[in-house]
Amino acid sequence: MSLSGACAIAGVYEHPTRWAPDKTEFQIMAESAKGALDDAGLAIGDVDALFGASMTMGAMGIVELAEYLNLKPNYIDGTNIGGSSFVAHCTHAAAAIHAGLCDVALVLYGSTAASTAMAIGTGMGHGTRNAWESFQSPYGMTTVGSYAMVAQLHMEKYGTKPEQLAEIAVTMRRHAGLNPAAKMRAPITVDDVLSSRLISAPLHLLDCCIISDGGGAIVVTSMERARDLKKKPVQILGCGESVCHQEIGAPDLLTMGARQAGERAFAMAGVQRSDIDLAMVYDSFTITVLSTLENLGFCEVGEGGDFVSGGRIGLGGELPVNLDGGGLSNNHPGMRGIFLVIEATKQLRGECGDRQVKDAKLAVAHGTGGTLGVAHSGATLILGVD
Amino acid sequence: MAETPELVHPQVYASWETRGYWEGAGRGELVLQRCLSCGTVQHKPRGVCASCLSGDIEHFVASGRGTVYTFTVTHQNMVPPFAAACPYVMAYVQTEEGPRVLTHIVGCDPADVRIGMAVVADYQPQQRTDGEQFAVVRFRPAD
């Protein structure tokens, strides 16, 4: 039997905190675990598989997390491929459950990036004793700088305009205004984005994600078991993973991991791009959204500027994107892939109030980890409800 | 806008695999690798060919000429010494030999940098206490 449709998201929880100086990462994860298990109608004793990643967990971090939660799971996976990790964890969990290695998987994330003043976007570029990193470290590579080089190339090659990137930020803020939990809710305009200060040209301050604390949890189980639980199961219909890097030195910076991962996920799910009701894509920066939508196949590479214009990616548009307000306005604790799956799940269960996409049946979630212009990972999930 | 402020680049560290590149830079040469088995030219340097895994690799001195593939004018980097050097131009340069190298564009107003612009390698020797003769490779507009 195919993996497609064999497993489901049975419970989700987005931690409400955006500022948690009084909490630790593991505490946020544990509180999120409680939330997601309650959502599913399960208890911690039902969990036999643990998945997790964070900005500070070390090589044995997943074992420490198991200890913190007093769990002795049959299956553990601390894969850390950046912000996309949790999307990949759902895939790994589904595969392990489908193979009979475990039954109920808990995927966890927690972060205190904001309250511990972690410099996520513009604090890289330290000297390093790592010989491989020495090809970057002399040059002051920043996260935003690597994405800015992708934006610059896109603009040069296809005439993409700063106004088009800005519209993405404006749309995410509009969605955040409909999400009571979002950190930044006051409306902004294209002019606000373009007149905000340049961080790494051509990206302005408001082209960049915010920094917050936060966390979340997801419960994955078999479709068979999920049917008997509290909430409507959200089926995992397709999945895919990928990495993009410098290759032998000549990568096309406009090809994202979303291409390889997305193609596999759509093929597995057996659905078309036009069937998708909403997309949750990692929006570290405005360019990330544009390039992800191109690489997922919603338009050709080069057409992204036009695609994101005219309200198409807003609520009520042809392909609503990031209904929670995304990393640009809702929350961004450093690795926000988990929120893509959480919001997609809530949308497919019809629980999103003012920001609900009407009759949403099919969603794509795509996480990007690392940095587009240097090396990154991609993980795609196609989720659906009957 | 003023010319990019002179920045003293952080110290680099070489492994056995990458030493040829940094020593070459120290001599004022852009050193790349070629696989003697399949002909692949690669960067960053490795002990094996990243196309066919052959260990039969040679170093060669590239022309040092290239064009700007893409770039960003960095206005914010909170880490010293970059914080004081903003705005600086970080770029990928497409070398004549094929690989794209991460670098800085120096010797011109950041506002004048364009994709496709012809550039040549420029070397900043490192002041070091470990005896290594390394330099950081930047590029400047070709004359």
Q: Looking at CA atoms only, how far is residue B98 from chain A in angstroms?
A: 7
Q: Give the pLDDT of residue A157.
A: 98
pLDDT computed for residue B1 by the predictor: 47
Q: Are A360 and A382 in contact (CB under 8 A)?
A: no
What stretch of H or E contains A130? Answer: none
Give the tens place of pLDDT for each residue, A158-188. Answer: 999 999 999 999 999 999 999 999 999 999 9
Out of A127, A198, A246, the one facing B44 most closely (by C-beta) is: A246
Chain A contact present for B34, CB below 8 A: no
List chain A residues with CB under 8 Å of B41: 248-249
- Residues of chain A found within 8 Å of residue B13, distances taken between Cβ atoms: 128-131, 134
Closest CA to A341 of A369, A365, A324, A319: A365
Query: Which helix or strand (DSSP H or E) is residue A376 part of?
Result: strand A375-384
Label residue B143 by pLDDT band (50, 70, 90).
confident
In the DSSP assignment, the letter for residue A156 is: H
* Residues contacting residue B34 through CB under 8 Å, at least 6 positions apart: B40, B41, B42, B57, B58, B59, B60
Reported as a pLDDT band with limits 50, 70 and 90, residue A117 is: confident
Percentage above 90 pLDDT, chain B: 93
- Nearest by CB to residue A136, choosing from B17, B40, B102, is B102
User: What is the secondary structure of A312-336 as a DSSP string?
Assistant: TTSTTSSS-B-TT-IIIII--SS-T
Q: Is the pLDDT of residue B77 over 80?
A: yes
Residues of B in contact with A371 (CB under 8 A): none
User: A3: distance to nearest CA of chain B, Å?
Assistant: 33
Burial letters for A218-234: b for 16+ Cβ neighbours within 10 Å, e otherwise? bbbbbbebbeebebbbb
* Closest-CA distance of chain B to residue A151, Å: 9
**Subunit contact A248:B42, Cβ cutoff 8 A:** yes
Query: What's the whole-number average pLDDT of chain A?
Result: 96
Q: What is the mean pLDDT of residues B28-44?
A: 97
CA distance A356 to A185: 17
Helix, coil or strand: residue A28: helix
pLDDT > 70? residue B5: no
CA distance A10 to A174: 29
Residue in B13, B51, B100 nearest the CB of A131: B13
How many other CB atoms sit within 10 Å of the CB of residue A164?
20
* CB within 8 Å of A116: residues ≥ 6 apart: none
Cβ contact (<8 Å) for B99 and A122? no
Amino acid at A141: M
User: Taking Cα atoms as reference points, which of B56, B57, B58, B62 lies closest to residue B31?
Assistant: B62
pLDDT of residue A118: 76
Q: Which residues of B touch A247 (CB under 8 A)?
A: 50
Q: Is there a contact between B100 and A150 if contact means CB atoms under 8 Å apart?
A: no
Residues in A touching B92 (Cβ below 8 Å) = 149, 253, 373
- Give tens-digit pLDDT for A40-89: 999 999 999 999 999 999 999 999 999 999 999 999 999 999 999 999 99
Contact A128 B13 (CB under 8 A): yes
Contact A131 B43 (CB under 8 A): no
Task: Spell out the SS3 assignment of A84-126.
Answer: CHHHHHHHHHHHHHHCCCCCEEEEEEEECCCCCCCCCCCCCCC
Element (H, E) at B32: strand B31-35
**What are the residue ranges spanned by the domains of chain B?**
19-141
- Reply yes or no on whether the pLDDT at A330 is more than 70: yes
Give the nearest partner residue to A149 out of B7, B40, B70, using CB atoms.
Answer: B70
Q: pLDDT for A280-301, tens place per residue?
A: 999 999 999 999 999 999 999 9
Nearest CA in chain B to A202: B72
pLDDT of residue B126 exceeding 80, the answer is yes
B91 touches A at CB < 8 Å: yes
Q: Does B41 touch chain A (CB under 8 A)?
A: yes
Between A and B, how many residue pairs show a Cβ–Cβ distance under 8 A? 135
Q: Which two tokens stand for residue A157?
A: 């090659």
Q: Is the pLDDT of residue A224 over 50?
A: yes
ipTM: 0.95
Mean pLDDT across A309-322: 97
Asked whether the beta carbons of residue A145 and residue B72 sit closer than 8 angstroms, the reply is yes
The average pLDDT across A223-238 equals: 98
Query: Helix (H, G, I), strand (E, B), or coil: what is residue A286?
Result: helix
- Residue B111 sits at the chain A interface (C-beta within 8 Å): no
B129 inside 8 A of chain A by CB: no
CATH architecture of A7-117+209-384: 3-Layer(aba) Sandwich (3.40)
Q: Is B79 in CB contact (< 8 Å) with chain A?
A: yes
Instruction: Summarize the confidence of residues A127-131 as an average pLDDT.
Output: 70
Domain locations along chain A: 7-117+209-384
* Per-residue pLDDT, A128: 56
Q: In chain A, whose CA is at the least distance from the CA of B68? A: A153
Q: Give the span between the Cα atoms of B118 and B99, in whole angstroms.
A: 15
Question: CB A127 to CB B101 under 8 A?
Answer: no
Active site residues of A: 90
Predicted local distance difference test score (pLDDT) of residue B6: 84
Name the residue facing B44 among A123, A135, A253 (closest C-beta): A135
